[in-house]
Chains A and B, each alone.
Chain A
Amino acid sequence: MEKTKQALSSIPLLKTKAGPRDVDLWPQRLKEEYQSLIQYVQNNKAADNDWFRLESNKEGTKWFGNCWVFHNQLKYEFDIEFDIPVTFPTTAPEIALPELDGKTAKMYRGGKICLSDHFKPLWARNVPKFGISHALALGLGPWLAVEIPELISRGVVVYKEKDEDK
């Protein structure tokens, strides 16, 4: 938790409150998102804690990529996809791991992860300061850390040799 807090504090906060529909302000917001993400990734890499790859469409409304988790010296990789909701940034984006759809109870239909109860109030308190990077750091990161070892132990998720790193 401390680690998460530390990571969170090093992520730059956002200023602009604008959704994709705010044609004027959305690029500004998107810029800040990117800057935040860049900083976050840089931080992660510096801490030897790089754990995802992410890119978006041109408008910055659809995001996709992948993420990975090390467990017992094995790397488990999952695809990520999510849309920026219209009400963004008031509501947080719903990050989905389609691969794991139907494999765990902590997930909505379509592979959207069920975030912990305190994430939503936390987010609501921090509108518009929180952005995508925060959603990843506070939402997906902890979820993976908790759920994946459990899924592996249940045998639902099996290690697959991937030649990506090679």
Chain B
Amino acid sequence: MSSSDWDEVKLLAADFQRIQLTTSSQRLGERNCVEIVAKLISSKLLDVVFTTDGKEYVTPTHLTKELKDEAYIQGGRINILDAARALKVDPDVATSVCEKLTKDEHDDYCIVHGQLIGSTYLDQIAEDVLDKLEQNGHINSLKISQQFDLPVNIIDSMLEKRNQNLTFNLHKNKNNPYLYYTDSYFNSIKRIVRGALLAITRPVLCTAIINQCSIEEKEFFSVFESLLAEKQIPGTLTDRIGNACTYVPNIYTKALNNWVMNFYSNNNYLDYEAMNSVGITDPISYISRMQLGKELIALSTCSIGSKILVDVSAAIEESIASGTWIDIMDFLPIVFDPKDGKLVLEYLLKKTKISKGFQIFDDTVLVTDKFIEIQSERIINTLDAKVKRIIKSGEYANALISWKIQQKLVEDKNPELSRKEERKKKTGGKHGGGTQGRETKIKTVKKKYGQKSKQHDSDSDEQENKTIASEQFIIEIVTSDEIRDNLKIEETFKDVYEDKSSLTEKIVSYLYPILNKEALRRTQEMYDQVIANRIGDRRKVHQDFRDKLLLLLSDFHLYIKGVQKFDNTDIQIQLTTFLLKSVGGEIVESVKYYVAQNKEHNSESKTNQYDKQIEDAIEKLQKSLTSKRIDDFYEAVDQLLSSVDVVQKKHDRKKEREHLQNNRQILLNSLSNTENDAAQVLLIVTQILFQSITQTMIKVSGKFVSILLGFLQKHLNEQDFSVLQNYYDLVVQLLKTEDFDEKENIKSKLEEITHIVKDLAINFKKNLG
């Protein structure tokens, strides 16, 4: 068993050896194949491409054919990557193969976006597109490009290529290169547009036309251009801003132009608003484009022609020449607003080079200085009465004082300000110098500027102006109302007052400070004069008072002297008492009157002490009168005189004589004036005679006549005395009797001898003389 087995083993081992030694079959193994091909490729004897699984080799030509087939199967178009995947080749290899293919057969194939596209496919698309084009009349290559996912230029080139052998003409839109039209379509649109444009008579927005015609905007513009080139459009397009542009027909432009020209030739100005209403959106530039634009002056609401300007200019010159006022607005058409008026006025003033001699109110009203002068003078002249009243009533004086107090207060409050002013005064008009000087100079300039602006403000605001005015002026003499009323009287304002209330207001506010200043100046003048007069008066009063007082005193002295001529002391005392009563009373009266007058003049007089002193003196004097003693009287008089500032002069013989002469003259005068009163005549005659005899004056009342007669008896001759005595008796009888006839009888008797008595007195003097 085992041996047989071993035999078998031996046999098998032999078999094994035999089998091993047999040459291996001649079949080429896969491994060798790969190696051989690799060898061939590396030695460039074979050009093959590996498939992606590495199991197969493909020759490029076969691959090309496969790709072509693949593309054909897919409808003429294939993604190269997809193809590579399907054919199990490397995408790079597939791409390079495709590139080679398009190079070799560029008429039939092309690569677009990594896709291989055959000409058949393009032909098909082109056919579709052209069908569509024929059907619709227009086509957008962009849309096709989107639809087929192809670049526009391919579509374009495709369409161009087939353009020649078409039954219709293909057009490209000039504004949009992606748009294609057929002839018929283009022409139909052209007709529509031309019809629309011809029908339009006024400017229309292009969008409106486009909407109306229901065509594409781009089409419209290309059609428009072609029509324009053919000169078939009666109009123009405005500049395009985005898509908003307007078609303006020529007929409209012409009509507009005619309208403007007519308007201008009729009115000699052009109103922007009116122009706007007829459809000119930018009148200023429109006018400037026009032929006549050069002679027009553009204002804010209108443009004005030379004719109006000449008129206005003439009016201005005339009013300046005649010294009245002029409102430009009256000479301009109604449409002009004040702003325009202002511009016109400024322009004309510049042109005519008039820059002085007028004020401008309300921007448009030119008022000559002459006119203002006349008006203000007139108003000032009406104020005299008022000024007098103000001064008389003391209102002015009070205001002056309170103003001064205020000023003082202000100064106290702002010491800096006053200091500044001081400095300003110091440095005012200083030229050059150190830095300090220059600095202050700048400051002053600044201040001036500030004041100016303040003034300007006050111009604009009347209310403010008033408050400022009342601050500025010591007293408001002329009120705005007064000025206004006065202006109303001015005839040039009469007819236009209603319209020009603002003008008059302006003039009033302009005149207000000026007039007030002027009035104040006048008031001050008048006040100064009055004050001067018053001081003069007082001096005169004092003088008069003094003279009168002294006269009375010297009279008194002389009378006393006369009294002393009587021997009888009893008579002396009686006479003295009378003198004290009469003359002393007179003195007291005059002093009282003077004091009262003084009080009236200076209400807050110097001092109360002064008053009291005088009153004391007067009281004392009055007491002395009743004391019947001359010495007391003299003492009181001395005191009085010192209290009223009167110096009693020493007796002067010359003056005394003069005084006597005067007294005699007075007596003689009164004698000649006295006719019917016999008692009076007798009194005066006795007095004259007394004076003539004693060379002293006497002052007596009627009851002392008998005493006087007694005195005279010694000095007169008998004849004369008897005449006097007779006259005296008659007078006594006349006074005593009650019977009317008796009285008449005595009167007639007295009348007979009155002239004798008079002569006696007069002649007696003569005799002596």
Q: Contacts A46-B25, A48-B25 known; A28 to B5 CB distance under 8 Å?
A: yes
- Which residues on the B side are within 8 Å of A27 (C-beta)? 2, 5-6, 8-9
Contacts of B15 in A (CB 8 A): 34, 38
Name the residue on A nearest B2 (C-beta). Answer: A27
Residue B603, interface by CB 8 Å: no
Tell me if A50 and B9 are in contact (CB < 8 A): no
- Report chain A residues within 8 Å CB of B24: 44-46, 48, 50
Bitwise interface map of B from 679 to 690 toward A, beta carbon under 8 Å scored 1, else 0: 000000000000
Whole-angstrom CA separation of A41 from B9 in the bound complex: 17
Say if the beta carbon of B167 comes within 8 Å of chain A: no
Q: Whose C-beta in chain A lies nearest to the C-beta of B3? A: A27
| A48 B29 Cβ-Cβ under 8 A | yes
Question: Judging by beta carbons under 8 Å apart, are A49 and B6 in contact?
Answer: no
| CB of A39 to closest CB in B, whole Å | 9
Within the complex, the shortest CB–CB distance from B30 to chain A, in Å, comes to 8
Contact of A30 among B9, B20, B22, B28 (CB under 8 A): B9
Q: Does A31 contact B (CB under 8 A)?
A: yes
Residues of A within 8 A of B277 (CB): none
A37 at the interface (CB under 8 A from B): yes
How many chain A residues touch B (Cβ–Cβ < 8 Å)?
A: 25
Chain B 13-28, CB within 8 Å of chain A: the 1/0 string?
1011101101011011
Min CB gap B24→A, angstroms:
4
**Contact residues, A27-84 vs B (CB, 8 A):** 27-28, 30-31, 34-35, 37-38, 41-42, 44-50, 53-56, 60, 73
In the complex, what residues of A have CB within 8 A of residue B19's CB? 38, 41-42, 45
Flag whether B12 is at the interface (Cβ < 8 A): yes
A35 and B14 CA atoms in complex are apart in Å by 11
Main secondary structure of the interface of B (DSSP, over half): helix
Residue of B nearest to A45 (CB): B24
B32 at the interface (CB under 8 A from A): yes
Q: Closest chain A residue to B39 by CB distance?
A: A73
Does B35 belong to the interface (CB within 8 Å)? yes
Shortest CB distance B725–A (Å): 203
Q: In the complex, what residue of chain A is closest to B7 when comparing beta carbons?
A: A27
**Contact partners of A41 in chain B: CB under 8 A:** 16, 19-20
Which A residue's beta carbon lies closest to that of B28?
A: A48
B17 touches A31 (CB 8 A): no
Chain A residue with Cβ nearest B10:
A58
Residues of chain A within 8 A (CB-CB) of B25 are: 45-46, 48
Given the interface pairs A23-B2, A73-B35, the reply to whether A54 lies near B12 with Cβ below 8 Å is no
Asked whether, in the complex, the Cβ of A31 is within 8 Å of the Cβ of B8, the reply is yes
A34: nearest chain-B partner, CB-CB: B12
Partner of A56 from B13, B20, B35 at Cβ < 8 Å = B13
A24 in contact (CB, < 8 A) = yes
Chain B hits for A53, CB < 8 A? 20
Q: A23-B2, A27-B9, A45-B22 are in contact. Are A37 and B29 (CB under 8 A)?
A: no
Q: Is the CB of A34 within 8 A of B2?
A: no
Asked if A34 meets B9 with Cβ closer than 8 Å, knowing A23-B2, A53-B20, the reply is: yes
A34 and B5 CA atoms in complex are apart in Å by 12
Contacts of B27 in A (CB 8 A): 46, 48
User: Which residues of B, 305-343, contact A by the 8 Å Cβ criterion?
Assistant: none
A158, chain B: closest CB distance, angstroms: 22
In the complex, residue of chain B having the shortest beta-carbon distance to the beta carbon of A28: B5
B55 to chain A, nearest CB (A): 13
Which residue numbers of A lie inside 8 Å of B, CB to CB?
A: 23-24, 27-28, 30-31, 34-35, 37-38, 41-42, 44-50, 53-56, 60, 73
Q: Report 8 cross-chain contacts, Cβ distance below 8 Å, ordered by A residue.
A: A23-B2, A27-B6, A30-B9, A31-B12, A38-B15, A47-B29, A55-B16, A56-B13
Closest 10 CB pairs of A and B: A48-B29, A27-B5, A34-B12, A45-B24, A50-B24, A30-B9, A38-B16, A27-B6, A41-B19, A34-B16
Q: Which residues of B contact A (CB under 8 A)?
A: 2, 5-6, 8-9, 12-13, 15-17, 19-20, 22, 24-25, 27-29, 31-32, 35
- Starting from the known contacts A38-B15, A48-B27, A54-B16, 17 additional A-B residue pairs (CB-CB under 8 Å) come to A27-B2, A27-B6, A31-B12, A34-B15, A38-B16, A41-B20, A45-B19, A45-B25, A46-B25, A48-B28, A48-B29, A53-B20, A55-B13, A55-B17, A56-B13, A60-B13, A73-B35
